[in-house]
Amino acid sequence: MIAELLTWLTTDCAPQARKLGYLYEAVAMQARIKRCAQAWKSHCEQAQTFATNCMHRQEKGGIAVVFGSGLGVDLPKAALLEQFDEVWLVDMVHLRSTKKAWGYHHKVRFIEHDVTGTLNDVVKGSLTTIQPQQWLDNADIRFVFSANILGQLPVQPLAWLANQVTTHDDEQLILWSRGLLQAHLTYLHAFKKCGAVVCLIADLEWQYHENNKLLQSIDAWRGLEHATPDASWEWRIAPRGELHGNRTQTNWVGGWCW
């Protein structure tokens, strides 16, 4: 706990990342990875394999952009560095341990960026949906990887808003959340139109069990229709002992290559 607190206190990040809980979640996730390494092993391997196969559809060289690079445990680091001239890692927070895991490689650029473009409005209590345009004019971008952030885009903002005095009802929040997901998908398709190969790995469903009995199943796409994934697999994100009592969480994950 002391190490986690020190990391939270000493990590440089945007005020929004600290205020909305992105830094807290990154620090907590770092600790969870250590506890759940064996349970996560299959997911990480399958995500890395899928992304590697997808990137190899593109010629070598140019720039790879990873949205939601996180702590990097499910990213094929060696393959990205070998395939591309530059690797841009885009997320709200980059911990020092994450940078160290990439070996401070000269090809890697860490970019703190709000991929939704909405967080400035969220902290003011306003729900807006913005269609991202960042980097679409860069012809050197050859590969774009959305690394399991799609379903997560509304999560931290909604958690923060839940503790504020706002006039937003549940229907407004659901529609806004769905709008964030759709805007991100449109953004990825725009890169595809510009000539990049796009890899999307995203949660399909979050399942909660207790004593091996299904308690709840949540659609991570919030009702948005989507094509059948090219691959899908199970991620035991919270094995027994991570949640209260005998509860566990399993995410079903899909991969698409465009």
Residue 258 and residue 189 in contact, taking contact as beta carbons nearer than 8 Å: yes
Residue pLDDT, tens place only, 14-46: 777 888 888 888 888 888 888 989 999 999 999
pLDDT tens for the chain, 258 residues: list them: 555 546 544 566 677 788 888 888 888 888 888 898 999 999 999 999 999 999 999 999 999 999 999 999 999 999 999 999 999 999 999 999 899 999 989 999 999 999 999 999 998 888 999 999 999 999 999 999 999 999 999 999 999 988 886 778 889 999 999 999 999 999 999 999 999 999 999 999 999 999 889 999 999 999 999 999 999 999 999 888 788 888 999 999 999 999
Residue pLDDT, tens place only, 175-204: 999 999 999 999 999 999 999 999 999 999
Question: What one-character DSSP code corresponds to residue 248?
Answer: E
**Dihedral angle over CA of 87, 26, 250, 119, nearest 10:** -80
**Dihedral angle over CA of 105, 109, 110, 111, nearest 10:** 180
Q: What is the pTM of this model?
A: 0.94
Show the domains of the chain with their CATH numbers.
2-257 (3.40.50)
Helix, strand, coil percent content, the chain, rounded in steps of 5? 40, 25, 40
- 255, β-bridge pairs: 201, 231
